[in-house]
Amino acid sequence: MLKLSRAGWNNVIIFGVLAFILLINATHENVFTDEQALQKDDSFFPNSAVILTMSLNQQVTIERIGKTWRATPAVIEGQALAQMMRSWQQLSVEPTTPNNNVDPQLSLLVSIEISGQDEAINLRLNAQTDQLLIYHQQKERWYVLPLAMYDQLVPQEIFGSKLLNDNA
């Protein structure tokens, strides 16, 4: 065995701990960098983003009032409106290839203003037979969601209103 003085063993321990700290620090940065890159691809909004207003086809406007929401005209309110906005806030999507078979005239136009951003996020929602396609106009990218998400993002109360049916 190696014979070292007490000061020598202290130096060995110090350098061993230092090497271990550097190893943890180096692997920590690589792990979280990869996770952050994946997270940026599959979400519309950063985790800390706050939705201020949302406009659907420029006919229904939903705005944040404190911790609650208000729709103008009042086609949806209360817990249904809060659940709708929670679905938008937690929206996680999967990128897909561009789809040339989508008719822009049949799209639902959604404009979302986020706190801290100068420009609103403009989306086009297209319900297909088995999926929901979302086109992010600023990123010029297509995303896909299960069709069941359509009713969570845009509840029937909004489409059942006389307002949207008259202007269609």
State the pLDDT at residue 40: 47
Percent of the residues in the chain that have a pLDDT greater than 90, as a whole number: 24
pLDDT band, residue 58 (cuts 50/70/90): confident
Percent of the residues in the chain that have a pLDDT greater than 70, as a whole number: 84
More confident residue, 96 or 99: 96
pLDDT band, residue 160 (cuts 50/70/90): low
pLDDT band, residue 13 (cuts 50/70/90): very high
State the pLDDT at residue 33: 53
pLDDT tops 90 at residue 3: no
Q: What is the reported pTM?
A: 0.67
Separation CA 117–CA 159 (nearest Å) = 29
Class of residue 26 by CB neighbours under 10 A (exposed 0-12, middle 13-18, buried 19+): exposed
Mean pLDDT of the chain: 82
pLDDT band, residue 166 (cuts 50/70/90): very low
Instruction: Among 53-57, 77-81, 154-158, name the one with the lowest average pLDDT.
Output: 154-158
Provide the CB-side half-sphere exposure for 108 (13 A, CA): 23
pLDDT band, residue 5 (cuts 50/70/90): very high
pLDDT tops 70 at residue 23: yes
Q: Measured in whole angstroms, how far is the alpha carbon of residue 165 from the centre of its chain?
A: 29
Nearest to 120, CA basis, from 37, 39, 38, 61:
61
